[in-house]
Chain A
Amino acid sequence: MKRKTFSSFLIAGALLAACSSNEAGSEVEQDSTNVIEQDWPDIEADAAGTTVNMYMWGGDENINSYIDDWMTPRLEENYEITLERRPMDTEDIIQQLMTEKEAGETEGQIDVFWLNGENFRIAKDHDLLWGSFAERLPNVEDHINMDDLDVAYDFGTEVNGLQAPWGQVQFALFYNEAYVDDPPASYNELAAWVEENPGRFTYPEADEFTGNAFVRQMLYEVVEEPEDLVEEGFNAEMLSDYEDEVWSKLREMAPHLWREGETYPSSLEELDRMYANEEVWMTMGYNEGRAEPLVRDGTFPEGTKGKVFETGSLGNTHYLSIPFNAPNQTGAMTVINEFLSFEAQKEKLNPDVWGEGTVLSSSRLSNEQQEALEAVERGGSVPGEEALSDAFRPEMDAAYVDWVEDYWLNEVVRSLD
C-alpha cells in the first residue's frame, strides 16, 4: 500500500526540520571516488564478513522470499555477506535520507535501496545518492549496455550510473477469459468494450501508481508523434493539443465503469480484490508477470490472461542504488553486482519466484544463457514475448506523472457533478 499512517507523516515532518550542514558533502564525494576506483577484487575482499542493509518496499511475499530465501543464503555462502532486508516504502526512504542529509548525518543506515522514477529524480536533485558506481560492476560491464535508452533514462531523468538497473516491467491488462472473449487491444477498443459490459471495468485512482500509468499510457495512443513524448521531455505546449482528447475519452468511459465512475478503487489491491471476487472482469498492473503467482495460488480466477495494448505498453526499468551516507559501500556494490548476475536474473524470471523481466541484454549473453532464459516458462497469464516487445514504449518524463495527478480528479471525477 502506498499510503501510510498519518503519524509517520508528522514525525517525518519533525525530522525534516532538523538543521542542515553542508560541510560533510565534499568529504563524502572524495570518499566515494576512492572506493569506486578500487579494483573489483579489492572491493569484494573488503565486503567480506560485513552486513548489508537493503531497504525496499515489502508488500509482495514472492519478492520478499526471493531475497530472504534465495539471495541471502547465496550472499552468505559466496561472499560471507549478511543481507538484512528492511521493508520501507521508497517515499519514506527518500524522506529519511533527506532528513539525514539536512542533519549532516554522514553515516546512515541504508546500504542498498530500490529506486526509480520520480523518487530517483528527487534523490538525484538533492544529492542523496552516493556516486556513479553502476559501470564499475562486473555484471553491468558484461551484460548491460548503460547507454541503451531504456536504462540510460529513468522516467526522463539521466541515470549517470547513480543506480544500476535491476528489473524491467511492462504495463498490461489482465482479463478473465470466462467473461472476455476478445480483449481490447487499445483504449478505443476498451471504450467500446466497457459500453457493452457496463460496471465490469475500472482502474485505480490516478494518484495511485498503477492508475496513473493507466492514464499516462493513453498518451501513446493519442499523441500523433509518440517519439516526442520521450525525446522532448515534458512539453506543455504539445500536451495542450492532446490533453482534451485524453480527458474526454476517460469522461466518456466513466458512466460505464464500476459504480458508474462515481468512485474509483483507491489502490491496485482494491481492484485486485474485486477482480478476484469476479465483481469486475479485468485488472491491470505495471508488471506483465504479476498475475501468474496469483493465478497459481488460487487468488485470481484460472482463466486469467494478460494483454498489452497494441497502441503501446509502457515499460520501465527499476534500479538498485546506494545512498550518499551508506555505511557499507563495498558491501552494497558487491550485493548489487550479485543481483545482476545471470543466475539471479534467471531465478527472478521464474513465475514461482517473482516472474519479473530481466535487465540483461540478450546481445550480451552467450547462446546457452539465452536459451536458458527462453526455457523459463513464464506461465499462461503472461503476454507473449513478441507482443510485449512490439508494444514496448519507454516511460516518459516524470512530470507527466504529476500532470495526470494534478488534473485527473478535476477533469474526470468531478466533472460528473
Chain B
Amino acid sequence: MKLSARSIKLWFALAPAFLLLVGLTGYALFSAVRHSFTAGGEAGFTVSAYASLAADPHLQESIRFSIITAGISTMISLVIGAVLARLLYRQLRHAKLKVLVWLPMFVPHFVGAYIIILLFSQSGLFATIAYQFGWISAPADFPVLTHDRDGYGIILTYIWKEVPFVVLMLLPVYYDMDQRFHEVVRTLGGSRFAAFRDVEWPLLRPSIFETGIILFAFTLGAFEVPALIGATDPQMAALTAYDWFYQGDWSERPEAYALMSALTAALLMPAFLIFYRARRLQQRLLKGGGRS
C-alpha cells in the first residue's frame, strides 16, 4: 500500500502524542520488565522475582480479590450504564442534559472515594439519617460499606464513577442506529425484546466489550481508590506492589516490578483479542453484514 499525502500528514500530526506514549509508557514498561528480570542488578537474567510471586499465598489472595472487585464493579457499571443510555438517549441529545452525564466525569477518582466515605461510612450521612429516623439503634449498626473486607466501598466508588463513562461510550451507538430497523422488526410482528436483541444488541456489543475491558483494566490496576476506601487486608494488587516498591530497604523492588509486569501482560492479551474482534464486528456491521 502506498502512503498517500494525506496519511503522511496524519502521521506527522500524531507523532508528538505517539512519541510521548511510546516514550513514557513504553519505556516505563520496558524498564519495569527489565528490572523484574534482573532482581537487583548483579545476578544477570533471573526469574527469581516471579518465582517468589508464585510462591506467595497472600499475593494470590490479593489478586483474586482484585479480579473479583474489578469484575463485579465493571459488570454492574456496564448493566446500569447500558440501561440508562437506552432509556435516556433521546433526552440526552440536548446539550444541557448531556452536561449532567459529563459532570461526574470531572470528579477525580479519589474525590469520588471520599464522597462515598462521607455518605456510606458508619459516621457518614446515611448512617446518621438512618439513626435519626430510628431505623437503626446506633450509627454503628449501619452496615459496614467502607474500609470493608469484601470491597463494597471500592465497588460503590467505581460504579458511581464509571456509569457515566459507560453511558457516554454507548450514546454514539444509539445515535448512529438506523431507527428503520426497529420499525422493520415491529412491523414484522417482533416484540420490543426482539427489537433489542436483533437490532440494538449486535450494534452495542462491540462497544460494550471495549468499554468493559477498559474499565476492568483500569479498576484492576487501581491504586488511589482502594488505598482510601479499602481494608487493610485483603489488599488490591497495586497496593501490594506499591508497598513492596517503597519498602524501606528496597529489597522487594524486583517483586514489585514483576507483579506490575505480570498484571500488564495479563491485561494486554485479552485487550488485544477483544479490540481485534470488536473491530472486525464493527466493520462487518458497517458493511451491512447483519448479525454475526
Contacts and interface: CB of A to CB of B under 8 A. Distances in A.
Contacts, number: 86
Interface in A362-417: 398-399, 401-402, 405, 409-410, 413-414
A9 B221 CA distance: 12
Contact of A263 (B32, B221, B231, B257): B231
A17 B144 contact: no
A29 interface: no
A91 interface: yes
Contact of A17 (B34, B149, B224): B34
B224 A5 contact: yes
Contacts of A401: 248
B248 A405 contact: yes
Interface residues of B, number: 40
A211 to B, nearest CB: 10
Nearest to A10: B28
Interface in A249-295: 259, 262-266, 274, 277, 279
B27 A14 contact: yes
Interface stretch (B47-55, B160-168, B195-203, B239-247): B239-247
B73 to A, nearest CB: 17
B138 to A, nearest CB: 10
A263 B233 contact: yes
A118 B144 CA distance: 36
A200 to B, nearest CB: 11
A264 B246 CA distance: 20
Interface string B23-42: 01101111110110000000
Contact of B123 (A5, A277, A409, A410): A277
B210 interface: no
A238 to B, nearest CB: 19
25 contacts: A3-B224, A6-B221, A6-B242, A9-B245, A10-B25, A10-B28, A13-B257, A17-B35, A262-B149, A263-B233, A266-B227, A266-B228, A266-B232, A277-B123, A279-B122, A279-B123, A402-B248, A402-B249, A405-B243, A405-B247, A405-B248, A409-B232, A409-B233, A414-B58, A414-B233
Interface of B: 24-25, 27-32, 34-35, 58, 122-123, 140, 144, 147-149, 221-224, 227-228, 230-233, 238, 241-243, 245-250, 257, 260
Given A3-B223, A14-B31, 12 more contacts: A3-B227, A6-B221, A13-B28, A13-B257, A14-B32, A118-B248, A122-B248, A122-B250, A263-B149, A266-B228, A402-B247, A414-B233
